[in-house]
Structure 1
Amino acid sequence: MQQDVTRGSMVMGVLALALAGCGGGGGGTDSPAAAAVSAPSSSTSSPSASPGTSTQAASTTPAAQLPTASTTPSGALAAAPMLADCELFPASAIFNTRIDDTSRFPVHAQSATWKNLVGTSVPFSTDWGVNDNPASYSTYWGMPVNIIDGSAATTDWPVVSYDFSTSGVSMERGYPDKSDCATVGGDGYAITRPCGAVPTGQRRFPFPLSSRVLNEDGNCNDPNTCGDRHLLVVEKGACRLWEAYFAYQLSGQWYAMATAAWDMKSLSLRPDDWAAGDAAGLPITPLLAKAAEASSGEIRHALRVNFSDAKLSLEHVWPARFASGWDNPGAIPFGSLLRLRADFVIPDDWTTQAKALATAAKRYGLYVTDNGADFFVQGEPNAAWDLRTNAQMRNITMADMEFVDLKSVTSDPRFSKDSMAASW
């Protein structure tokens, strides 16, 4: 589905009112296209994890656990970002790798062409809001992250269906053959791939308890009108990431178009030609802008950015696994890396959050992961966002950006296209 650009325009009107003292705020909405289907691959699973004993319920993203600010040079390994006592993938993952050394990560040969295709005056748009009450879903902008521990206090590991036709509400059909789900294994639940090889009644997913679950688009629950409803889950203890696209609970039954899972202790990517919660087949959660990180003054990871179908090709480059949308030869491939130019001077009077976001855009960049409105960067809904941050980031335009060549990684003899690893 195409992003509602009108909503993004409305957001800026609300933001202007807020900055004038009237309150409100927010960002646009993200909308990936659904994954295509091909023949299932062989089934694989991770070791099962025992359910934990904590009684913490699903929640919004807690304060990020970050090391103190550092001056780690480009290409050097710093501590990986943390969430729920888990690394958001190892420090050597490309998303956690600094790419501001232009001798190792030069400007891509197609950078000027791709920037002109988007339009050099297009601004950096923050796709998140300050309303963190999902009941007020008309202004609930962004993707919240749920934290569970795998125990019955946080999830009952319900069965997930990919066939909405049984709901009586929608006729959508999802993609179990390119999805991951959980199956009972040992004394816990194992990641199983592809889910299409699992009997329908045994396909499970750790949707948080209904009383605490947080989706993109909030409590809006009509699959015909409510949008993409991404659902992001970090399983603490096991340090696994579970993400669903178009996730709805209808008459007590959970449905999704696609589901994906990662062991965050691993560097493994999804199979090539598989989408995930996003069209590029990449994890969403590690690339989200999070208020606690930005407020700390340092973001130690890359961000994710959308462009409209007309600006994207049906090609994908590492680390992406998939592409969707229109066939535009020569346009921007999914997985491309965008970086804020080194000569952009970050103003001293910007908020701590805006300075951290701009610095992350210089040091780690933004990966092209999905179809949507041009130059929209995704984050979580959180009342801790400063509305001045949203306005200040719009002073960055595509003219201030450059696309990056990752050949120094992909040409290394130790490189594997199936791994996130950018150093060895």
Structure 2
Amino acid sequence: MQKYLCAILLSFFLGFFSFSLSTAQSPAAGGSSFRGDIDGNGRIDIFDLLGLLKLLGGAEFSSDRQREIANVDKSADSAVNIFDLLGLLRLLAGAEPPEVIVWGPPELLASIPANASAGDTISLETENLPPGAEVTVLLDGAEFAYPERSGNSLRLALPDSFGGGFFSLAVGGDTTDPLFVNLPNLNPPVIAGCRILPADNPWNQPVSGFPVHPNSDNYVDNIGRFDYLHPDLGRTYGIPFVAVGGGQPRVPLTFTYADECDPGPYPIPPNAPIEGGASSTGDRHILVLDSTNCMLYETFSSYYQSPGWAVGSGAVFDLRSNALRPDTWTSSDAAGLPILPGLVRYEEVAAGEVNHAIRFTVQNSQRAYIYPATHYASSSFDLNRPPMGLRMRLKADYDISRFTGQSLVIVRALKKYGIIMADNGSDWFISGAPNTRWNDNDLEQLKSIPGNSFEAVDVSAMVVSGKNERRNIWPGVSVTAPADSAKFSAGGAISIRAEAYDNDGGVALVEFFQDSIKLGEAAAEPYEFTWSGAAAGSYSVTARATDNGGAMNTSYAIAITVE
């Protein structure tokens, strides 16, 4: 009988509140309250349940009974949802009123603060912790602490040696998904009064606590395990920049690759310093910092053509924001990244600390990128080549006791902040700004660091978009057969094959197209399809890959002829 009563009550309440909520925007006749809004506060909430039960029962409820009914408001926000109704039905059916209703497994939601220093006390915010359950905090998978608990908040002190790590909770038989807590950057770089990107920007986040990338050894081998680091900075060489005020005249630009550029005008002076000098045949970067508005303007292959500049590409960055460029867009650098935040500058080294990652280049890259990079510059699908945006660091056990002066400051940054791959170029070249006060002999010490002293870092837990979320990287895909310009006989079979990969997940599907017409698909390797009965004509063949996060990417087209 009891289960039938529950069913009747549930049907009644669901019907009543569905009607009430669906008409919640319609003023009731003769007044300003909403239909179903018994207490007249302008919304349907737990107190309307009390009022409804009073109307149905024709009697006042005792204070204790009101507290019992109000206790079914699981989220304690006064709003009514299906879980509150289920809790109410349990109560009306004669069960003991639950002190806490737990729905679903426990979750670890956030750390407060998000970044913390060694020895700090932090709070881990959780959801669905059963009352009275014993909670064990795990750090990098090992038992770490039994925290103080207050509701769904857990307080604990970090170890004095804390350098960042993954926290998870063991509750009964459940273990939560891990949550990465990083070290804060207490002193992010400042140039001409402008902070160079927010403290939690990837350029400014230390990576000493992040795990080693599973493909680290292959990346190091590909770049050059026994090649040496090279400081591409000194008294007369490096990538220069200039700071200007907000009154600097803005001039027009013409772009070679305009479709991925931020349009002008840019505040570039006619005598702006060019990488390599006015007669350079290299990349000819120009970097201009508007110190009034904290905007960064960067160009590639820059030539002055009065009254403005002809450039290969250009990008504008708001230094107060973590916003990334659109997916697949370049910047003045191949990876789609800003250059200035990754330059080693004399002033910061002289002050004793480099508080950011350092830009570096490699000769052979992969046709892929890792955020915060947004662009690749390679046709190779070799997964052992480094992708643009790859983060690396000097190994923690690498002995730096022999380094002195300016080099010592830089190698400390190589351990704490690491390097970010930003362009194709010479292997293991790190970038800096030229300055006559550099001690070139001192910097020579850096050339003694071999490639095998570095390791790639898995930064998949790093938030990079500034929106407290991780962006899904597009998959890569290429048609590998037939060859471009291949010819076939009408009515025969044409074998189409593709290679596909996904750097932050997996490939869920590869589809094959003839012009805009879908021919077929493959959900697993090998990604191939046989096209039978093709009529005579000229066709464009492409493949489209979809990853496990729903992101799609289409290959370059290959042309075939059927005769």
- TM-score, structure 1 normalization: 0.66
One-letter identity of the residue aligned with 2:183: A
The equivalent residue for 2:239 is 143
Q: Which residue of 2 aligns with 1:285?
A: 340
Query: 1:109 — aligned with what?
Result: 214
2:252–2:307: 8 Å Cα contact kept in structure 1?
Answer: no
Q: Decide whether aligned partners of structure 1 residues 352 and 329 sit closer, same or farther in structure 2, where only a CA change above 3 A counts.
A: same
In structure 2, how many angstroms separate the alpha carbons of the residues matched to 1:252 and 1:338?
A: 42
1:160 aligned to 2:253? yes
Contact 2:234 2:439 in 1 (8 A): no
Are 1:338 and 2:392 counterparts? yes
* Equivalent residue letter for 2:208: D
Q: CA deviation at 1:418?
A: 8.9
Q: Are 2:291 and 1:236 aligned? A: yes
Q: Report the residue type matching 1:334 in the other structure.
A: M
Specify whether residues 158 and 355 from structure 1 end up closer, same or farther in structure 2 by C-alpha distance, changes over 3 A only: same
Amino acid of the structure 2 residue aligned with 1:319:
P
Q: Deviations over 1:338-363 (max 9, x none)?
A: 10000011124x33211111011100
Of 401-410 and 377-386, more deviation after overlay is shown by 401-410
Task: State how far apart, in whole Å, the 2-side matches of 1:250 and 1:411 are.
Answer: 37
Match of 2:276 in 1: 217
Distance, in Å, in 2 between the alignment partners of 1:261 and 1:72 is 37
Task: Report the Cα offset of residue 150 of structure 1.
Answer: 2.4
Kindly provide the CA deviation profile for residues 243-294 of structure 1, in whole angstroms up to 9, marking residues without a partner as x.
1111111355410111100111111011111000110001100100111111
* 1:358 and 2:435 aligned: no
- 1:180 aligns to 2:262 (yes or no): yes
C-alpha separation in 1, matches of 2:348 and 2:464: 33
In 2: Cα distance, 1:409 partner to 1:228 partner: 31
Match of 1:294 among 338, 349, 354: 349
The alignment partner of 1:339 has SS state of strand
Structure 1 CA distance, aligned partners of 2:300 and 2:225?
Answer: 31
Report how far residue 371 of structure 1 moved: 0.2
| TM-aligned CA deviation for residue 391 of structure 1 | 1.3
Which residue identity is paired with 1:318? Y
The amino acid that maps onto 1:82 is: V
For residues 321-344 of structure 1, give each alpha carbon's deviation from its aligned partner in whole angstroms, at most 9, with x where no partner exists. 000034142111111111000001
Superposed counterparts of 1:2-401, under 5 Å = 73-74=163-164, 75-77=182-184, 78-101=186-209, 105-131=210-236, 141-151=237-247, 155-162=248-255, 174-181=256-263, 203-208=264-269, 210=270, 212-220=271-279, 226-250=281-305, 252-309=307-364, 312-330=365-383, 331-348=385-402, 350-401=403-454
C-alpha contact (below 8 Å) 1:272/1:418 kept by paired residues: no
**Preserved contact between residue 202 and residue 462 of structure 2 (Cα < 8 Å):** no
Superposition RMSD on alpha carbons, in Å? Answer: 2.2
- Contact persistence 1:180–1:261 (CA under 8 A): yes
In the alignment, structure 1 segments of 5+ residues that lack a partner are 1-70, 132-140, 163-173, 182-202, 420-424
Distance 1:303 1:411, change over 3 A: closer
Q: Secondary structure at the match of 1:217?
A: coil
C-alpha distance after superposition, 1:346-392 (max 9, x if no partner): 124x3321111101110001001100000001111111111123310
Deviations 1:149-205 (A, max 9, x none): 121xxx32111112xxxxxxxxxxx11221113xxxxxxxxxxxxxxxxxxxxx411
Structure 2 stretches lacking a partner, 5+ long: 1-160, 165-181, 474-563
Conservation of the 8 A alpha-carbon contact between 2:201 and 2:464: no
What code does the residue aligned with 2:260 have? Answer: K
Asked if structure 2 preserves the Cα contact closer than 8 Å seen for 1:230 and 1:246, the reply is yes
Alpha-carbon distance in structure 2 between the residues aligned to 1:218 and 1:274: 27
Structure 1 segments (4+ residues) deviating >6 Å: none
Deviations 1:207-265 (A, max 9, x none): 12x2x4111011216xxxx2211000110120111111111113554101111001111
More strand by share: 2
- Contact residue 106 and residue 405 of structure 1 kept, 8 A: yes
What is the letter of the counterpart of residue 226 of structure 2? S
Bigger radius of gyration, 1 or 2? Answer: 2
* Contact 1:338 1:365 (C-alpha < 8 Å) held by counterparts: yes
CA shift at 1:404, angstroms? 0.4
Secondary structure of the residue that 1:409 maps to in structure 2?
Answer: coil
Secondary structure class of the residue paired with 2:304: strand
The structure, 1 or 2, with the larger RCO (C-alpha pairs under 8 Å, 6+ apart) is: 1
Q: Give the conservation status (yes or no) of the 8 Å contact 1:295–1:352.
A: no
Aligned counterparts of 2:220 and 2:334: Cα–Cα separation in 1? 21
SS in 2 for 1:333: coil
Q: Which residue of 1 aligns with 2:471?
A: 417
SS in 2 for 1:402: strand
- Offset of 1:410 from its aligned partner? 5.7
User: Which residue in 2 is equivalent to 1:47?
Assistant: none
TM-score after normalising by structure 2: 0.50
Q: Tell me, in whole angstroms, the C-alpha distance in 2 between the residues paired with 1:408 and 1:158.
A: 41
Paired residue total: 293
Mapped to 2, the partners of 1:404 and 1:366 lie a distance apart of 10
In 2, the alpha carbon distance for the partners of 1:230 and 1:369 equals 14
